[in-house]
Amino acid sequence: MSQVVAEEDQVSVILDNEEISDALSGSNQIVSASNSFAHFLANGFSKLDQSCLESCIIQTSVSHNLRMVTSCTRVVAIHRNLNTSRSWQVRAHGFRLSMKAVADKCGGDANVRYAWYGAPRDEIFEIVTHGFSWSMKAHSISLSPAKHLLDSVLSSTADESGLRHLLLCRVILGKQVVVTGESSNQFHPSSLEFDSGVDSISDPTKYMVWNSRLNFSVVPCYIVSFEAPYLSGEKDYKAANDREIETNSRNPALNCLTQNVHRQVTEMAESKSLRKPVFTKVEQLRPGTSGHTLTVKVVSTKMVLQKGRTDGPQVRQMRIAECLVGDETGMIIFTARNEQVDLMKEGTTVTLRNAKIDMYKGSMRLAVDKWGRVEVDKPASFTVKEDNNLSLIEYELVNVVEE
């Protein structure tokens, strides 16, 4: 495959609406690790050939998502949900009705996504047999977007054979609301206008689906069984590390290499959690630059484009707004796209992470693409310097000829 699959749009080529499968039939007997696959097969899941397109897409996605943490990941088996029982027909019909109802409410787009769910093997068995509602012990479930697999991997645990199991699900997200720590224990949305929760509108790493919306909003489509020996959770990770060092103790060179790998993974994790971003002021922005982190106030917002666009079987709303933002050093136009528009309300303080400068008709525009993030922040105390609008400065391209 010429392109690594890590994004939702790439993963979504796997299934269409008519191929959603459920897992409600069969025995609820918890079997041993050696019979895990037999349990999946007994509940309507079929093992995929590892050379088929679906399998290649999923394998590549898993490897790509975990490549920065471990190179030892190996997908052992992928089972696809092909359950044709009566209970499946009811669940599939309910999912389609729910998707249509949410789409009608949200202007034609039900915001259906693929997401990962990780759990211990026994919980996966219960979900495969009875569905998510059977295994619920909390007010909601948390799933990981297609490109943020690691959280779900860490929520899983290795069974006796060293295998972990993940569910790749189809989820109806509809209109999303940002869920903070204080509201994570609620068992329904804060308002009827919302259908699911996220930790960030612009670049979510977690999807939250509440019990009240669960039965016909989440459908497991695939079970991915894999080995990841260096991702066994905090306690198990240390134990695996000790066992690996002991095993390689008779080979000093190999033992040194193993310890270096673990040290680099630990240092990488610590550096990511401790590294503080360097904030930029508006007056410091220059054409052609990127990687900026800055906190600004929204002075005004003007919608310049709003129309529907076809995205496969779905119709999505494409929105673009020009937002005048600034700090105590100056102002600039920020081009907000789609979900970002909802965050850019007049008077709101936002932090723009990994922002870049685009040029439009010779003047600067600030933007945040899929590699950055827009976050609503606490109100800032500064007053915007409105007499220094950097977007009013027109730049001219000059070709310099070297002699």
Give the model's pLDDT for residue 109. 87
Give the model's pLDDT for residue 38. 84
* DSSP-H helix ranges across 207-320: 211-214, 233-247, 252-274
Confidence of residue 397 (pLDDT cuts 50, 70, 90): low
Q: Is the pLDDT of residue 164 over 70?
A: yes
Give the model's pLDDT for residue 241. 45
Q: Is the pLDDT of residue 387 over 80?
A: yes
CATH class of 282-392: mainly beta
Lowest mean pLDDT among 33-37, 168-172, 182-186: 182-186
Give the model's pLDDT for residue 17. 39
Task: Report domain extents, the chain.
Answer: 8-227, 233-274, 282-392
Burial class from Cβ neighbours inside 10 Å (0-12, 13-18, 19+) for residue 374 reads buried
Q: Is the pLDDT of residue 101 over 50?
A: yes
Other Cβ atoms within 10 Å of 94 Cβ, number: 15
pLDDT digits (tens, 9 = 90+) for 19-70: 333 333 333 333 444 467 888 888 888 888 888 887 888 888 887 777 666 6
Q: Give the C-alpha separation, 16 to 221, whole Å.
A: 11
Give the model's pLDDT for residue 345. 93
pLDDT digits (tens, 9 = 90+) for 215-235: 788 888 899 998 877 654 444
Is 282-392 the same fold as 8-227?
no
Ramachandran angles phi, psi of 397, nearest 5°? -75, 125
Strand partners, 305: 320
| Residue 241 or 3, more confident | 241
Going from the C-alpha of 274 to that of each of 280, 286, 371, the distances in angstroms are 19, 28, 20
| Half-sphere exposure at residue 372, Cβ-oriented, CA atoms within 13 angstroms | 22
Confidence of residue 264 (pLDDT cuts 50, 70, 90): very low
| Residue 36 or 181, more confident | 36
**Under 8 Å between Cβ of 366 and 357:** yes
pLDDT digits (tens, 9 = 90+) for 309-367: 555 555 567 899 999 999 999 999 999 999 899 999 999 999 999 899 998 888 999 99
Give the global pTM: 0.52
CATH class of 8-227: alpha beta
Q: Is the pLDDT of residue 247 over 70?
A: no
Confidence of residue 270 (pLDDT cuts 50, 70, 90): very low
Picking from 360, 370, 335, 351, the residue whose alpha carbon sits closest to that of residue 292 is 351
What does pLDDT average to over the chain?
76
Confidence of residue 262 (pLDDT cuts 50, 70, 90): very low
Strands, sheet with 112-118, edge to edge from the N-terminal-most edge strand: 45-47, 74-81, 218-227, 164-172, 112-118, 140-145, 207-210, 196-198, 176-178
| Residue 141 or 139, more confident | 141
Give the model's pLDDT for residue 253. 52
Give the model's pLDDT for residue 152. 86
Going from the C-alpha of 88 to that of each of 43, 147, 284, the distances in angstroms are 11, 28, 58
Confidence of residue 389 (pLDDT cuts 50, 70, 90): very high
Q: Give the C-alpha separation, 391 to 154, whole Å.
A: 45
pLDDT digits (tens, 9 = 90+) for 16-25: 433 333 333 3
Please give the structure tokens belonging to residue 113. 């996504």
Confidence of residue 390 (pLDDT cuts 50, 70, 90): very high
Give the model's pLDDT for residue 4. 33
Query: Taking CA 379 as the corner, what is the angle to CA 376 and CA 384, rounded to the nearest 5 degrees?
Result: 105
Give the model's pLDDT for residue 313. 53
Q: Is the pLDDT of residue 243 over 50?
A: no
Residue with tokens 């669960």: 214
